[in-house]
Chain A
Amino acid sequence: MAFIENLTLFVLAGFVGYEIITKIPATLHTPLISGTNAISGITLIGSVVVAGSGHSTLATGLGFLAVVMATVNVVGGYLVSHRMLRSFRQRGD
């Protein structure tokens, strides 16, 4: 049953994503890519659970590496997007 619930989320989120993303202007496509990259770093929460659970050395080691990579993705992604978006200004700003 969990699979069907997950599938429901997947399909609905897909539709929501489609509706929103198609309205984003081409001007913002680079910050969009960088911002969504940061969102894909959500895999960090999976990494946190695995790295922190400490069940086996191997899993913890892999978890450590995963947390590092995902955090780079999240922190770097949001900061780069912020830097880019900061430069987008209106005429006369």
Chain B
Amino acid sequence: MPGIAVGLPSETLSLAYLAAGVLFILGLRDMTHPRTARRGNLISATGMAVAVGITILWFEILSPLVLFAALLVGAGIGTWLAVTVDTTDMPQLVGLFNGFGGGASALVAGAELIDLLGPSASAALPVETTTAAAITGLIGAVTFWGSVVAAGKLQGALKDPIRYSGENVLKLAVLVVAVVAGASLVAQNQLFGVLPAAEWVPSYWVVVAAASVLGVLLVIPIGGADMPVVIALLNACSGLAAATTGFALDNSVLIIAGTLVGASGVILTVIMCRSMNRTLTNVLFSGYGATDSSDEDSSDIYEGNVMSTSPEEVAMLLDIARRVVVVPGYGMAVGQAQHAVAELATLLEANDVEVVFGIHPVAGRMPGHMNVLLAEANVSYEQMQELEAVNPTFSETDVVIVTGANDVVNPTALSGEASPIAGMPVLHVWDAQTVIVNKRSLSPGYSDIPNPLFTNDNTYMLFGDAREAMQALVKAYKEGH
């Protein structure tokens, strides 16, 4: 049903979709370096404009008012959210946007089924179409509700993981309902006679309803520090939902773009899991530290073995330092200490001290969280180093400042085989001359295990909120110069 573009050769639509697909690929390729990344984002947005533009021109729009009202409303909400959000709230916004993509895919597949089956609900659809639609409904609804819960967790609305006995059985039961309804949709037998045949294709919406419950159940038991994995996984799901919608609609650019996103999310998920030395099933289906954590031991090992320090003493250490590595963690984000940390780095560099930021892949609540915060605080990307790059340099480092991080600098990961973090790649900060750990208290991190780093001879604790401590440090350092 060609619309305005009725005079154009029929290949135009496919060619425009091909161009859009190429632009997405070129845009992603430019994301391989911070220097070109912004251009890449613009190229990718151009691809989107091409794909959407040709679609509006090509297809017969019988209700233009509905369509343009929806586009305006969506663009308005999207712009408003993107422009007004604080940098610190970006993880939850990105999570929420992700869910919207998945949700839209689920709605489109449902609307397409209604359109294809028609009022009589008797037309037979190809198995490929119904299968793709069922999968889209499943993945899309899981993505939407999973993202909403994840965003709520990141916002702090749902702080504690919600766990209960038999949770995996419940998830399995809900999944079975979704799969049975999906099978019924594919077989087009209206849920084996239980549901009536109707214009609104009831079996599809049973899939969506069950998947919605599943999405919520999957994410509520997961703790905050596992959020990087969840966000990456939901990212993959939103892409796959778009790709399966492409199968249902027979649309090339949906498949190409959706698959690119799916690949990206899957790769990030793998990287995040590897950085925690955990499997995906372990993250999703078993609580972290569910193995007995020995609380008594944790206070015992600290007893009389921990040395605390003051901002003034640290400033004196920094006076004679040649190389300083800052290791930020989620505590820096919570305390919004990135600006104070960046100011300290600038002051040190002005005095010819080499300053590097050592960033663990899972530090924070989403992949690359620390980097975005530091970039916003004017830290150059050359100063942000990945774990593999920074680890060999600790032995040549005079002072390491750990702020708001705990598990990612825990030496137990290397030695204790029974520990929940055993085998996790960590930053070897203890190789440095002196380690300053800024933390509010000696309380354990997310893994709920003590950190023997705090008792080392070359470790000094700088107790306090990340921002207050870093601001005090900046002040003390300034006074000495």
Interface positions of A (Cβ within 8 A of B): 2-3, 6, 9-10, 13-14, 16-18, 20-56, 58-60, 62-93
CA distance A31 to B59 in the complex (A): 33
CA distance A6 to B91 in the complex (A): 33
Please tell me if the beta carbons of B264 and A45 are within 8 angstroms of each other in the complex. no
| Chain B 77-109 interface residues, beta-carbon cutoff 8 Å to A | 77-79, 81-83, 85, 90-91, 93-94, 97-98, 100-105, 107-108
Minimal Cβ-Cβ distance residue in A for B119: A56
Please tell me if the beta carbons of A76 and B82 are within 8 angstroms of each other in the complex. yes
Chain A residues with CB under 8 Å of B252's CB are 6, 9
Q: B245 near A: Cβ within 8 Å? A: yes
Please tell me if the beta carbons of B260 and A36 are within 8 angstroms of each other in the complex. yes
Minimal Cβ-Cβ distance residue in B for A2: B250
Minimal Cβ-Cβ distance residue in A for B55: A45
With A9-B252, A90-B381 already in contact, the answer to whether A52 and B31 are too (CB < 8 A) is no
Minimal Cβ-Cβ distance residue in B for A56: B114
Chain B residues with CB under 8 Å of A59's CB are 111-112, 114-115
Chain B residues with CB under 8 Å of A42's CB are 20, 48, 51, 242, 253-254, 257-258
Q: B157 near A: Cβ within 8 Å? A: no
CA distance A32 to B263 in the complex (A): 12
The number of A-B residue pairs with CB atoms under 8 Å apart is: 390
Minimal Cβ-Cβ distance residue in B for A63: B111
Chain B residues with CB under 8 Å of A77's CB are 78, 82, 94, 97, 101
Interface positions of B (Cβ within 8 A of A): 1, 20-21, 24-25, 27-29, 31-35, 37-38, 40-42, 44-45, 48, 51-52, 55-56, 59-64, 66-67, 69-71, 73-75, 77-79, 81-83, 85, 90-91, 93-94, 97-98, 100-105, 107-108, 110-112, 114-115, 119, 128, 199-200, 231-232, 235, 238-239, 241-243, 245-247, 249-265, 267-268, 271, 359, 361, 366-369, 371-372, 375-376, 378, 380-384, 386
Q: Jot down 22 A-B pairs with beta carbons below 8 A, ordered by A.
A: A6-B247, A9-B256, A20-B25, A25-B386, A26-B386, A28-B31, A34-B97, A36-B28, A39-B48, A40-B235, A43-B254, A46-B108, A52-B62, A53-B59, A55-B62, A60-B63, A62-B110, A72-B75, A80-B93, A84-B372, A89-B380, A90-B35
With A37-B235, A45-B251, A46-B249 already in contact, the answer to whether A14 and B259 are too (CB < 8 A) is yes
With A38-B44, A59-B115 already in contact, the answer to whether A43 and B264 are too (CB < 8 A) is no
In the complex, how many angstroms separate the beta carbon of A4 from the nearest chain B beta carbon? 10
Task: Select A52's contact among B44, B67, B107, beta carbons within 8 Å.
Answer: B67
Minimal Cβ-Cβ distance residue in B for A67: B70
In the complex, how many angstroms separate the beta carbon of B80 from the nearest chain A beta carbon? 9
With A30-B371, A35-B41, A70-B101 already in contact, the answer to whether A14 and B52 are too (CB < 8 A) is no
In the complex, how many angstroms separate the beta carbon of B113 from the nearest chain A beta carbon? 9
Please tell me if the beta carbons of B82 and A44 are within 8 angstroms of each other in the complex. no
Please tell me if the beta carbons of B247 and A16 are within 8 angstroms of each other in the complex. no
Minimal Cβ-Cβ distance residue in B for A66: B107
Chain B residues with CB under 8 Å of A49's CB are 55, 59, 249
